[in-house]
Amino acid sequence: MPDLTLWGLFVAASLVLLLTPGPAVLYIVARSVQQGRPAGLVCVIGIHLGTIVHITAAAVGLSALLVSSALAFALVKYLGAAYLIWMGVRTLMAKAPDPETPVIQAKSLHRAFRDGFVVNLLNPKTAIFFLSFLPQFVDPARGSVHWQVLALGLTFMALGLLSDGMFALVAGTAGDFLRRSQRLQRLLRWFSGASFIGLGVSAALASRK
């Protein structure tokens, strides 16, 4: 386990990062406003299961490949960007939901989980973040660096589940009111679709720096 003092500093730094709205929070908010709290929370779970892959890669050093290889970074980056843009186009082209039918269905929950997982998995910036951030709080004198990185990563993921879940609940609650108007439903669909496309473009323009 990491040193308790370093671990405490890590928790504080992680909370500051997690509570500062970024692309992941924007994605969760857009999904929650559009489809409600259940879809937002399922999306959060999918995102952080994707985080486990990045944490494991950082622990064993695989993330270094994305830093050292321009080809590997570009491949993952453009796949992730294309997926986000496709989600945005799909959202913009979707038919307006029938106000008499439930907003959340099993199929949409499965899709929210899948999209969250894939978007985070194909985000090379997440991999580089863990590779650069977690080692700052590792004390080699306390044993295996790999296990310390893994423990820190799982701590970050647990904090992320709580903070992102809070964003999903708040946005989903606001969406419950907004979805009562057909005009606002159209605006929400355009907001969500534009947000996904914007995130995709942002991901495509990301550099290894």
User: What pLDDT sits at residue 27?
Assistant: 81
C-alpha count within 13 angstroms, C-beta hemisphere, residue 2 = 23
Residue 206 has a pLDDT of: 61
pLDDT for 196 equals 67
Q: What is the pTM of this model?
A: 0.69
SS (H, E, C) the chain: CCCHHHHHHHHHHHHHHHCCCCHHHHHHHHHHHHHCHHHHHHHHHHHHHHHHHHHHHHHHCCCHHHHHCHHHHHHHHHHHHHHHHHHHHHHHHCCCCCCCCCCCCHHHHHHHHHHHHHHHHCCHHHHHHHHHHHHHHCCHHHCCHHHHHHHHHHHHHHHHHHHHHHHHHHHHHHHHHHCCCHHHHHHHHHHHHHHHHHHHHHHHCCCCC
Q: What stretches in the chain show pLDDT beneath 70?
A: 1-3, 62-73, 76-77, 80, 94-107, 140, 178-185, 187-189, 192, 196, 199, 203, 206-209
Residue pair 34/91 in contact by the 8 Å Cβ criterion:
yes
Residues 6+ apart with CB under 8 A from 46: 112, 113, 114, 115, 116, 117, 118, 120
> 């080699």: which residue's tokens?
140
Look at the block and give the residue holding tokens 């709290």: 37
Q: Please tell me the predicted confidence (pLDDT) of residue 209.
A: 55
Question: If we measure between CA atoms, which residue out of 22, 35, 47, 51 comes closest to residue 198?
Answer: 22
